[in-house]
């Protein structure tokens, strides 16, 4: 019989008068992976932030290893001291420090009052080797890829004396090979008697890694069931209260004039000439494995990373995009894969966030606050935002609603080309459908087009009108999604480029 490690009983929590957790019960055994599932806004992250001390519960109790935690003193520091360690969906690293320094934060080894940098380096090498993560300890975090940052977050958590390890979307930015390494690491952690709470929207992986699954819906724990025997369709019905059918939606679209095109693009991240064109009304899917160059292309097109060669054209006219400000002026919008860091001002309200681009384009000294509120209110209704009000701080929104705010920011700015980089990372199946509808509506709304970048090959096939496959910074295939299988996409994605021919 497994030892009961954690018990959360009758947990309730409200924000702005909105009840987000309503008497939730959740428990965890030693050496168990207990998966927590639910749509965005179901209460998963809130429940975990209460456990990790980031939020204070309104009522209920938390018992760890038979001892009830005091809600009055339970904060992030005391939670970590008790052995509750979190790996959140959004990174909590110090970007200007090295990997080794991040792994020793708050626990630097000192000799005669001075930090022993040799010990810091040795500690980092030992932790990374134990986790089988191929990361240079001397590298600065700000220069790491998203997948490397995620791996470092996990390494930081594993380096602490954890009894309960919370993993919130740990594989969202990982390749299959990196995911396999993570799963082996999880098995090793379980063997040590550490309990793992695992949050993911990848239903195919939770049955592989989990022991039990608890489903939350609208702040309620609706059912707990064994992971390996669960049916995916049943899980989806529990999550959203009804069945979900994800099928390709064919759109009426006449091929015609180019909206946005690139010819021979190069920079330090795109060493081989890259060319493409997206037509009016088209959703051009761009896919490939982690490290294929998809994000690097998006950053170059938006003027974040400067080009060293090649040309861009908007509606047939040559343009020079040498900064994000110039991209915005031309009507090009960009949703970064890291929406919290590069798409939102988390401490501001919804209305301030959706007006950011419009404010940047405004001429003159005056800005109408009533007009800003009207625009935000209309937008909330049109895109189905679930919020307490337009003044609600964005940091309290679920992942799906945050993504809608970023999307709405560009809708109010009336951009003509929208570059979406992994727009559904960390978003549940229900919210994905809503995001897909927004994307289709945008592309079908006149002289507009979408570059849809995603590593999720199922959604690339479902949403795209045409698909480009990238690997090693090059486009290696152009495919018709109606005639392409997931297996073919994978074959192209894993193709190794040899030379420039």
pLDDT digits (tens, 9 = 90+) for 312-368: 999 999 999 999 989 989 999 998 887 777 778 888 888 888 777 766 555 555 566
**d(Cα 164, Cα 5) in Å, to the nearest integer?**
8
pTM: 0.59
- CB-based contact 469:276 (threshold 8 Å): no
Q: Mapping DSSP to helix (H, G, I), strand (E, B) and coil, where does residue 195 land?
A: strand
Cα Rg for the chain, rounded, in angstroms?
Answer: 23
pLDDT of the residue at 499: 39
Of residues 159, 177, 209, the one with CA closest to residue 35: 209
pLDDT of the residue at 53: 94
Could you tell me the domains of the chain? 4-240 (3.40.50.300), 257-331+415-496 (3.40.50.300), 345-413 (no CATH)
Can you give 163-220 as a three-state secondary structure string?
CEEEEECCCCCCCHHHHHHHHHHHHHHHHCCCEEEEECCCHHHHHHHCCEEEEEECCE
User: In this structure, how many other beta carbons lie within 10 angstroms of the beta carbon of residue 133?
Assistant: 20
pLDDT of the residue at 366: 55
Positions in the chain short of pLDDT 70: 1-2, 16, 40, 89-90, 106, 109, 111-113, 172-173, 175, 242-248, 252-255, 290-291, 358-368, 371, 426, 428-429, 494-501
**d(Cα 160, Cα 174) in Å, to the nearest integer?**
22
SS3 content of the chain, % helix, strand, coil (to 5): 35, 25, 40
């Amino acid at each position: 019989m497994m030892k009961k490690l954690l018990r959360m009983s009758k947990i309730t929590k409200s924000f702005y008068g909105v009840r987000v957790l309503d008497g939730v019960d959740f428990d965890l055994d030693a050496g168990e992976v207990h998966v927590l599932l639910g749509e965005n806004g179901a209460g998963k992250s809130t429940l975990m932030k209460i456990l990790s001390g980031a939020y204070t519960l309104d009522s209920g109790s938390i018992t760890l290893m038979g001892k009830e935690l005091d809600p009055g003193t339970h904060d992030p520091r005391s939670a970590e001291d008790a052995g509750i360690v979190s790996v959140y969906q959004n990174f909590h690293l110090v970007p200007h420090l090295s990997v080794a320094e991040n792994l020793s934060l708050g626990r630097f080894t000192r000799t005669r009052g001075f930090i022993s940098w040799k010990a810091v380096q040795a500690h980092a090498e030992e932790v990374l080797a134990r986790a089988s993560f191929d990361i240079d300890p001397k590298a600065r975090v700000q220069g790491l890829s998203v997948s490397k940052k995620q791996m470092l977050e996990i390494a930081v958590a594993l380096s602490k004396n954890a009894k309960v390890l919370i993993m919130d979307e740990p594989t969202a930015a990982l390749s299959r090979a990196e995911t396999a390494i993570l799963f082996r690491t999880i098995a090793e952690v379980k063997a040590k008697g550490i309990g793992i709470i695992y949050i993911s929207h990848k239903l195919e992986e939770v049955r592989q890694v989990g022991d039990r699954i608890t489903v939350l819906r609208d702040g309620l724990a609706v059912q707990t069931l064994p992971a390996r025997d669960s049916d995916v369709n049943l899980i989806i019905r529990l999550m959203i209260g009804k069945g979900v059918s994800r099928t390709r939606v064919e759109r009426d679209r006449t091929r015609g004039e180019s909206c946005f095109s690139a010819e021979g693009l190069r920079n330090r991240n795109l060493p081989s000439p890259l060319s493409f064109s997206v037509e009016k009304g088209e959703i051009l899917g761009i896919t490939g494995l982690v490290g294929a160059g998809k994000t690097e292309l998006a950053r170059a097109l938006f003027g974040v990373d400067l080009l060293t060669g090649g040309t861009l054209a908007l509606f047939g006219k040559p343009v020079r995009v040498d900064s994000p400000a110039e991209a915005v002026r031309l009507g090009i919008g960009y949703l970064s894969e890291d929406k919290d860091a590069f798409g939102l001002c988390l401490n501001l309200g919804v209305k301030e966030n959706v007006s950011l681009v419009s404010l940047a384009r405004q001429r003159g000294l005056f800005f109408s606050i009533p007009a800003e509120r009207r625009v935000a209110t209309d937008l909330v209704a049109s895109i189905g935002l679930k919020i307490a009000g337009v003044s609600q701080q964005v940091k309290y929104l679920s992942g799906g609603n945050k993504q809608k705010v970023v999307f709405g920011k560009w809708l109010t700015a009336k951009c003509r080309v929208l570059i979406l980089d992994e727009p559904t990372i960390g978003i549940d199946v229900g919210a994905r459908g809503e995001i897909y509808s927004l994307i289709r509506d945008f592309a079908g709304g006149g002289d507009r087009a979408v570059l849809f970048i995603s590593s999720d090959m199922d959604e690339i096939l479902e949403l795209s009108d045409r698909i480009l496959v990238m690997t090693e910074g090059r486009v290696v295939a152009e495919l018709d999604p109606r005639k392409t299988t997931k297996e073919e996409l994978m074959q192209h994605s894993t193709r190794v480029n040899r030379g420039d021919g």
